[in-house]
Structures are given as structure tokens and as C-alpha cells.
Amino acid sequence: MANAADVDALDFEPDDDDLMDEDATVDVDASSPSHIPKLKSAITAGSAPKKTKGRGFREETDAGRTNRMSGRFDSLDSDGGPGPERSIEGWIILVTGVHEEAQEDDLQNAFGEFGEIKNLHLNLDRRTGFVKGYALIEYENYEEAEKAIAAMDGGELLTQTVNVDWAFSRGPFKRRNNRRRSPHGHRSRSPRRRF
């Protein structure tokens, strides 16, 4: 059965989702549409009912989708342990809270002092043309990326507070107390910087 296969492939435990919330309770909405969605999403199977909306729920189950998203996906070798994952040519960090009028130079100036920036993606909002709010930065060495995170996370860039973290992880989310940014555990913080 397609749905069962989906669930297996997903291997998703609701308990593991500690991304945002403190309470995992989901309100059972009495006003939910009475029809039962045909396309039963793998992701919500077994969890509380949700408010659903869209034609996707009224269509026949798409067997093609199961084929498309099952099977082998390539990934870089990883032991699945905690901590950041190395990318093919270096270490990638994510900066969020980036000012909409930030320029690449602003990020170069702020982040270049921790090591040579091998790649910088400062993507734009497609509607407004301003910076979308995040930047992805690549350093060649782990230590450079780690220093940038330690120094800049919670720091200020163009009057806005920015958050800085690794982009990639060696395994799925773990519970909160396992979520460390670096395998070295508690890290000492340098003073915040301003630019």
C-alpha cells in the first residue's frame, strides 16, 4: 500500500520535532471539512487532525509521487552523528536576520575576517528585489566557520541582530539537549561585534 510505504520511508517521529515549539499539542479543529482527504499525507499520518485546504486532498493518490521520492538519494558520506556536516568543498554557515538593503560587501567585511569566503549567496526576494533576509557563506576550514558562528551569532549587522549557525547537519534533529552547534560542547563566546 502506497501510504504504508510512505510512512516507512519517512521514518518520522512527531516527538523528534522540537524545532519551534514547547508544546506539541495540536488543536483538534471541530470545523474540519467532513470529507476525508484522499491524498493522505505521509507526514501527518498518525498525528492529530489538521485543517486541510487545497485540491491536492481531493485528487486520487498519486502513485507516481511514491516512485519519485522513494529509492536512493545521493548524499555525502556521513556517519549520521551529531554536529555539522562538511560540504563537498568546505563548511557552510547560514546567516539570518540580514538587513534587506545589505550588500555582498557588507557580508564580506563582517565575515571575511574569520577566513577567506569561498562562496557567498545573498539571495534576493523575487517580488521586492531586496535581500530575502538570509545569506549562505562557505569557508574552506571548519575552524573559520566555527569562529564566524561564535563571534557573529547574536551580533549586529547593519543595525539588525543576526543569527549565525551551521547550515548542514550529520543527522536528523535530536532532542533539545543534544542539539549543540559544535561537537566540542560548550563553546566560549567572543564579544559581540558591530559593523
Partner 1 sequence: MAEEENGAAAGGGGGEFYLRYYVGHKGKFGHEFLEFEFRPDGKLRYANNSNYKNDTMIRKEVFLTPSVLKECRRIVSDSEIMKEDDNNWPEPDRVGRQELEIVMGNEHISFTTSKIGSLMDVQTSKDPEGLRIFYYLVQDLKCFVFSLISLHFKIKPI
Query: Within positions 40 to 59, which residues make up the interface with partner 1, using CB under 8 A?
Result: 41, 43-44, 47-48, 50-57, 59
Give the Cα separation of 162 and 168 in Å (integer): 18
Cell of 82: 551529531
* Residue 88 within binding range of partner 1, rule CB under 8 A: yes
Helices 142-152 and 104-111: crossing angle, nearest 10°?
Answer: 100
* Residue 168 within binding range of partner 1, rule CB under 8 A: yes
Residues 13-32 that bind partner 1 (CB under 8 A): 13-14, 16-24, 26-27, 29
* Intra-chain end-to-end CA distance of the chain, in Å: 57
Cell of 114: 574569520
The least distance separating partner 1 from the CB of residue 192, rounded to whole angstroms, comes to 14
The least distance separating partner 1 from the CB of residue 143, rounded to whole angstroms, comes to 18
The least distance separating partner 1 from the CB of residue 163, rounded to whole angstroms, comes to 6
How many Cα atoms within 13 Å fall on the side-chain side of residue 89?
A: 5
Phi-psi region of 159 (alpha: psi -120 to 50; beta: other; left: phi over 0): left
Residues 96-125 that bind partner 1 (CB under 8 A): 96-97, 119, 121, 123-125
The least distance separating partner 1 from the CB of residue 180, rounded to whole angstroms, comes to 11
Distant-in-sequence, close-in-space partners of 42: CB < 8 Å, separation ≥ 6: 3, 6, 7, 9, 10, 12
Per-residue mark of binding to partner 1, 136-155 (x: CB under 8 A): x-x-----------------
Q: Are 90 and 140 in contact (CB under 8 A)?
A: yes
Please identify which residue in 165, 187, 192, 194 interacts with partner 1, judged by CB under 8 A. Answer: 165
The least distance separating partner 1 from the CB of residue 66, rounded to whole angstroms, comes to 12
* Residue 76 within binding range of partner 1, rule CB under 8 A: yes
Please identify which residue in 73, 101, 185, 188 interacts with partner 1, judged by CB under 8 A. Answer: 73
